[in-house]
Structure 1
Amino acid sequence: MKLDLANIPHLLKHTRKRKKLTQEHMAEIMHLPQSTISKIENGLMELGSKSFFKWMRKTDSQDILVALSLNIDPTVATDLISNLANSGLLGIILGGLL
């Protein structure tokens, strides 16, 4: 499954729940009303790019950003990053870059 714009609201909800955040807590973090968070997650309101990146940062969803950048399924990116981290290769790769 490739990500399309219609999946963004579901993706946002998924990242929030994965971080175990309620809509109320996410609203506090994003400085938005809870009703706006609900509308965003239900596809009734769009999230601007600046707010989208803030949402991704606050939910520790760098894997989703990698997936979007590579145009791949977010679960593939999550598995890839997890496997690299568990194998120790990620530290070696990052160590070589730093």
Structure 2
Amino acid sequence: MLTCLRNTITIQSLTVTPSGGGTFTESWTTTSTAWARVEGVAVEETRFDKMQQVEQYTIRMRKQPLSNTQRIVYLGKVLDIESVLDETQLSRMMTVKARCEI
């Protein structure tokens, strides 16, 4: 199973710092890198005021602290984390559902 983790991903967290005058600056900081299996699941088009394509991904990786307030960078694409699935407490693996607007 671990031999299937062939993709390198970067996990980033949002950092908010005061920039003076009551305003804040947001930036993304790399928290860690990890080996994972990244699979593109689907491309869907959503329509609000315009046409937009969204790629959905399933990511299998070793278990580590991760939440939907973080994001994943894979091959230059920024993936927003939708959910983190912890299959069992005894498992060393977890599944992450993510999406990327293109």
User: TM-score, normalising length from structure 2?
Assistant: 0.22
Report the structure, 1 or 2, having the larger helix content: 1
Greater share of residues in strand: 2
